[in-house]
Amino acid sequence: MYKLIAFLLMLAFLGCQTSQPQSNDQEPNVDAQVIATTIKQLQESFPGADATLIQKGVTHAGSLWRAADGTAKEFSQFCMKNYFSASDEKKNIYLKLEQYLETINGHFTLMGIGLNKNVTLNNGPLAEVDKLFASYNAAAHWMDDLYKNKIAFVIALNFPYYSLNEKESLGQNWSAEEWGYARLGDVFAARVPAELTQNYSKVNADADLYISEYNIFMGSLVNDQNQPLFPSDMVLLTHWNLRDEIKSNYADARKGSEKQEMVYQVMKRIIDQTIPTQVINSGMYQWNPYSNKISKDQQEVAATDEKDARYQQIINNFKALQAMDVYNPAMKTYIERNFSGGMEISQPEVEILFDEFLSSLQVKEVAGLIKQRLGRELRPYDIWYDGFKARSSISAEVLDQKTQANYPDPKAFEADMPRMLQTLGWEKERAQFLASKITVEPARGSGHALGAEMHDMKSYLRTRIPETGMNYKGYNIAVHEFGHNVEQTITLHNVPYYTMHGVPNTAFTEALAFIFQSRDLKLLGMNDPDPDKDYLKTLDTFWSIYEIMGVSMVDMQVWKWLYEHPEATAAELREAVITISKEVWNKYYAPVFGSSDETVLAIYSHMIAYPLYLSAYSFGHLIDFQIEQHLKGKNFAVEVERIYSLGRLTPQLWMQKAVGVKISNQPILLAADEAVAHFKK
Ligand SMILES: [Zn+2]
């Protein structure tokens, strides 16, 4: 799931791609003098037109113009000829442009779905030709083409790009039409040479591969008594599976904490890179992660380290992304492009919000409750404490029986969607309309939702259904995906203009998916009368936010450090990451956990393969929580329709219009107070 999100995010911040033959053809070709003269000429020719808009449009179009596009004089002539000064003329052109873009975007999406059909759907054995078509991207050059035929410049000149700051301040008073114009301006925000985007794709794919092959053979780990603690065939991927193993061991009262300690010791060896290369992705050697000795057939073998390969991956990503800085005049660093560009929340704003949560009094309160439940002091790996999960009082068999009977195949789920929507409060006719826009298909892997990109297209809900019918786990995921599809349908069909379709960022679609998912029993006509359920859910979310915000803090500080030390070696970066992770720990966790200088926050694999993505998870939790709180006591369907019809504003403006306040820690902090008080009783 996060791979798809990361890919979409990458597209958003990379802007457009171009592939022209000679590298000097790709340098900006219009100097400040030419831009100033062109602005003056246009302002004189159209005295009634908005002078600021002319200036903005010409400056932006000029920043995208390359030698291959024509001479400076040709640029000026182009601007004179293609500027629409009259507002009705501009509106007419906009309506045509949005329709053309919908045609391009919609059909390319549909083509991509068609070409991926056999690799994503459960359609029998795969042939080599299926994989070839799946990796073919027919849309790879469309932006390039729109520069060549100058359409991109018509858009950049008349519908210029607005920075996040401008969108936040001016956008408060914008009409839907002005928002539509601004979102059209985002399409051609920057022009990055194709070789740079291709290079980043390769470097990033290598980092992904590095992580995907970083398995730990748990059966080969031994303690100081030379005893294994884990099953001989257990293989865990760094760091996700290692973390999940720590989580699952809270249920093992006898050996659980010894196993958790050992997993944490392995993590520390990965972070400081003292892990022997012989034990990465191999079970050939026995390894004691405490003494760091390895052996084979009772004989000790000399260990070799991986020479900071982990940190080299981060440096490779940094260099590939930093090379694009000069082609992004509006957002000169990857940090800005990721936050102000991709997420549309500025990095300093993110840090202030995270600092407030991490420093809150509630953190100590909830930690106190965890200590009480564990009957011991906290250990660093308790950032993954798993004991707030509400256990269902309905047995797994009963749930499976019910979903298997209801949904023997995808069509049965599809046919039931109007009823499900009515159960959630939608009127019959509207429920039928929404459901008619969603097709359910059998997935090869786990479930996913694919949104329509034009009005004349359906969304796809892909779900995995065994021969015996849909089990409860599959059903629970399918309801999550159903939430995505409902969002995708409302945000396409009910927003004012096509260029505004969708949600501000991925956290907003995840929010509705989780809101649907949490109502899955209600949709089955069952309920689970556990009085503690809501309180437990609050505490579980609270503790997840506490963990992920700290990890995100490390990620952000590391990127700031990289920009301050662009020539750093992998060894220097390793030292910096260790220092930063200890600083963040000492500031926000040491006062709660009691121990200092822990490095656990630096273990996340996202840091290696998904640069700066981690913050998105925290926003997902906060937004989900705020919308859930807002929906309490209201007409669910009416509110969901109203909120998701707002269109793609910035996240903060969207939230203000949706729930009345910006993205905030307050609702979850207050709810945590209530939950702690409830369990103290
Ligand atoms: Zn989702």
- CA 53 distance to own-chain centroid: 33
Mean pLDDT of 27-50: 93
Confidence of residue 16 (pLDDT cuts 50, 70, 90): very low
Q: Is residue 4 scored above 50 in pLDDT?
A: no
CB-hemisphere CA count at 13 Å for 571?
A: 3
Residue 513 CA, ligand 1 centroid: distance in Å: 6
The pair of three-digit structure tokens given for residue 72, joined into one six-digit string: 């400076």
Gap from CA of 525 to ligand 1 centroid (Å): 23
The mean pLDDT value for 610-629 works out to: 93
CA of 539 to the centre of ligand 1 (A): 21
Per-residue pLDDT tens over the stretch 283-331: 999 999 999 999 999 899 999 999 999 999 999 999 999 999 999 988 9
Distance 460 CA to ligand 1 centre (A): 13
- What pLDDT does 137 receive? 85
Q: Is 610 part of any domain?
A: yes
480 Cα: distance to centroid of ligand 1 (angstroms): 6
- Residue range of the domain that includes 354: 204-310+348-377+530-681
What average pLDDT does this structure show over 336-355?
96
pLDDT at 479: 97
d(CA 572, CA 17): 33
Per-residue exposure over 425-455, b if at least 16 CB sit within 10 Å of its own CB, e if not: ebeeeebeebbebbbbbebeeebbbbbbbbe
Alpha-carbon span 284 to 262, nearest angstrom: 19
Are 164 and 47 in the same domain? yes
- Per DSSP, the three-state class of 205 is helix
Summarised one tens digit per residue, pLDDT across range 77-100 is 999 999 999 999 999 999 999 999
User: What distance in angstroms lies between residue 487's CA and the mean position of ligand 1's atoms?
Assistant: 11
Write out the E strands in 436-590. Answer: 438-442, 448-450, 459-463
Distance 528 CA to ligand 1 centre (A): 24
Interval between CA 675 and ligand 1 midpoint (Å): 26
The answer, yes or no, to whether residue 3 has pLDDT greater than 60, is no
Query: What's the CA-to-centroid distance between 510 and ligand 1, angstroms?
Result: 5
Q: Report yes or no on 456 lying in a domain.
A: no
Question: What's the gap in Å between 195 CA and the centre of ligand 1?
Answer: 32
From 140-144, 217-221, 248-252, 568-572, the region with the lowest mean pLDDT: 140-144
**Would you say residue 637 has pLDDT above 90?**
yes
Q: 222 φ, ψ to 5°?
A: -130, 155
**pLDDT at res. 10:** 36
Instruction: Decide if 516 is inside a domain.
Output: no
* pLDDT at 13 > cutoff 50: no
pLDDT at 18: 41
Q: Name the domain count of the chain.
A: 2
228 and 154 within one domain? no
Using one digit for the tens of pLDDT, what is the confidence trace for 48-57?
999 999 999 9
β-bridge partners, 216? 236, 280
pLDDT of residue 329: 84
Specify if 401 maps to a domain: no
d(CA 538, CA 356): 18
Percent with pLDDT over 90 in the chain: 85
Centre of ligand 1 from the C-alpha of residue 588, in Å: 29
Answer yes or no: is 291 within a domain. Answer: yes
Tens digit of each residue's pLDDT (9 = 90 or more) over 536-577: 999 999 999 999 999 999 999 999 999 999 999 999 999 999
Task: Answer yes or no: do 257 and 141 share one domain.
Answer: no
Which of 80, 77, 143, 82 has its CA nearest to residue 108? 143
Distance 85 CA to ligand 1 centre (A): 43
| pLDDT at 645 (0 to 100) | 98
pLDDT exceeds cutoff 80 at 21? no
Is the same domain home to 572 and 658? yes
For residue 474, the CA-to-ligand 1 centroid distance in Å is 14
Do 459 and 449 touch, CB atoms closer than 8 A? Answer: yes
pLDDT, mean over the chain: 93
Secondary structure class of 296 (helix, strand, coil): strand
Q: How far is the CA of 483 from the centre of ligand 1 (A)?
A: 8
Alpha-carbon distance of 487 to 516, in angstroms, equals 10
Q: In angstroms, what is the span from residue 553 Cα to ligand 1's centroid? A: 24
Mean pLDDT of 614-620: 91
Domain identity same for 159 and 61: yes
Would you place residue 14 in the very low, low, confident or very high pLDDT band (cuts 50, 70, 90)?
very low
C-alpha 505 – ligand 1 centre gap (Å):
12
Please check whether residues 218 and 176 belong to one and the same domain.
no
CB count within 10 Å of CB 39 equals 20
36 lies in the same domain as 147: yes
Residues 110 and 259 in one domain: no
- Is the predicted pLDDT of residue 7 greater than 90, yes or no? no
Residues 232 and 363 in one domain: yes
- Lowest-confidence range among 24-33, 45-54, 445-454? 24-33
